[in-house]
Homo-oligomer: A and B are copies of this chain.
């Protein structure tokens, strides 16, 4: 029997009930978005008592399926004002699933200005006062130590950093990973929602949990084997990501002319070797560290894209050191040193702020004269100021749109007030359609058209041309919404896009676990229904088609070296959601 847990922070009380009928067959994003659409008033203030924060493991989380350990978090976003699902690695989803917890909802808001830790275990949920030494400034690294000490090393932890406590709109929620470091549900400011509800952390202890019931274990096992093989057989998910991390993309996207530089004023940089995945790989090899190098963000990951990046003495600086962060600081903000970028990444993890939103905000602040171009030390200092917070720290932590407004700029790379990530939409047009139309605000993971446009996985579409992009972005967004509901890492796409066996194995696992007989069409329908629910929420929250537009400057500022412009008409863009 699955459980549906509600924690009411107004009354500091907990209700553990059965899963409402309509949510029984859902997981991950399908569940979080369905719940938010059902129970959150679309016009509520995201930081007010009527917003609700929901954590849900995916359909396959907690099983032996490779890469199935992603946790989905949902709420109305303080950054975009729309619905938000953000997912992360770590051990949280797997522990929830093994304990039979379908969802954990945090609602209400305490009257008193005091922070709490929720402790979830086999006995239910207790609401403890947060240890005072982790409130009001100390970073996540320090806080995790305190919580591990208090609750035991083996617990799973979800935590809002100082940025979340201060309710900054780009605050993330971090999850302890198998190495004891952090993974984040980064985008959309869900850490600020957690902070507004005065929940500093959620600790989950699955000791004695029954595990996930599997209707047909043999069938599941067979499918899981095929699925894992499909992931490992693909050159991207089987080799490149482990070797170079996601940062393999610096050279690829730079070569494609789509690496936004100096606040989106060009698509190529000269200093790519300073910050590339190849350089990262060489540094890691040379510096040795503690021999961890690449690893997974959750148990059962076979792709192992995460890079464990050490300093020159081999001492850990940061992990989960991603392309988008490195791009944002290294190309968009012009910081030419990978080590200082690593320290900034660590500082962002520590303060609990989305690294994409912050990196783009930093580049925007540089254009606005608030920070010197390319000055890594200044940026590191500014990020640390979010834990004070100073006014500069607050402003950067409020995101790119806020910085752009305070600086009076028109070149502000956001959609629905969320920063555009590491792929320029002018020379890589497919991703621009995703940025423009996803209900999430600019988000490459909502429909990763880089795949067919650049990597030539799952499609072969000319990135500089409009042909085929509308249908492709639509299909990618639908497929992604379905994948985000399974608890699977998005990179499983590489194993299923061009591999019918891998694709079928994913569906077979779901069918074997739940005793169902879903077809690929059913899965597509699920993805479509998730997107429709999200979009309907956004309309009620105040969005219309005018929000499905890229910033105007993309239409008249050409992007070198291809000198391409964003040339989709509004009518064409609106075709993406015509299904």
Contact = CB atoms under 8 A, between A and B. Distances in A.
Interface of A: 41-50, 78, 166-169, 192, 195-196, 370, 391-392, 394-395, 397-398, 402, 405-410, 412, 539-544, 546-547, 549, 551-553, 556, 570
Given A43-B552, A45-B551, A48-B553, A196 B408 contact: yes
Contact of A552 (B45, B392, B394): B45
A391 B544 CA distance: 33
Nearest to A542: B546
Given A391-B395, A395-B406, 7 more contacts: A45-B551, A47-B409, A48-B410, A196-B408, A391-B392, A541-B546, A544-B544
Contact of A398 (B41, B195, B370, B405): B405
A552 B410 contact: no
Contact of A391 (B50, B391, B408): B391
Question: What 7 A-B pairs come out closest when comparing CB atoms?
Answer: A167-B408, A542-B546, A48-B410, A45-B410, A394-B406, A47-B410, A45-B552
Contacts of A410: 45-48, 196
Contact of A407 (B42, B394, B551, B556): B394
Given A398-B406, A406-B394, A408-B166, A544 B539 contact: yes
12 contacts: A43-B549, A43-B552, A45-B552, A46-B410, A48-B410, A195-B408, A196-B408, A196-B410, A395-B395, A395-B406, A397-B406, A544-B544
A48 B552 contact: yes
Given A42-B546, A540-B546, A50 B392 contact: no
Nearest to A407: B394
Contact of A405 (B44, B48, B169): B169
Nearest to A544: B544
A401 to B, nearest CB: 9
Contact of A543 (B167, B392, B402, B542): B542
Contacts of A169: 405, 408
Contact of A192 (B41, B408, B540, B556): B408
Contact of A544 (B405, B542, B556): B542
A44 B570 CA distance: 13
A48 B551 CA distance: 10
A544 B539 CA distance: 8
Contact of A168 (B408, B539, B547): B408
A402 B408 contact: no
Nearest to A545: B542
Contacts of A43: 546, 549, 552, 570
Contacts of A408: 47, 78, 166-169, 192, 195-196
Contacts of A196: 408, 410
Given A391-B395, A410-B196, A547 B553 contact: no
Nearest to A45: B410
B552 A547 contact: no
Contacts of A553: 45, 48
A74 to B, nearest CB: 19
Contacts of A412: 45
Contacts of A402: 398, 402, 405-406
A161 B566 CA distance: 35
A230 B397 CA distance: 55
A33 to B, nearest CB: 18
Residue of A398, A406, A549 most packed against chain B (CB within 10 A): A406
B552 A542 contact: no
A542 B192 CA distance: 25
Contacts of A195: 408
Contacts of A407: 167, 394
Contacts of A42: 546
Contacts of A168: 406, 408
Contacts of A392: 391
A169 B540 CA distance: 27
A364 to B, nearest CB: 13
Nearest to A552: B45
Nearest to A416: B542
A140 to B, nearest CB: 18
A404 B168 CA distance: 10
A166 B407 CA distance: 7
A195 B553 CA distance: 18
B409 A391 contact: no
Given A195-B408, A395-B395, A542 B547 contact: yes
A314 B542 CA distance: 51
A544 B43 CA distance: 12
Contacts of A541: 546
Nearest to A538: B546
A384 to B, nearest CB: 16
A570 B412 CA distance: 33
Nearest to A169: B405
Contacts of A45: 410, 412, 551-553
Contacts of A546: 42-43, 539-542
Contacts of A549: 43
Nearest to A539: B544
Residue of A44, A391, A547 most packed against chain B (CB within 10 A): A391
Contacts of A41: 552
A89 to B, nearest CB: 27
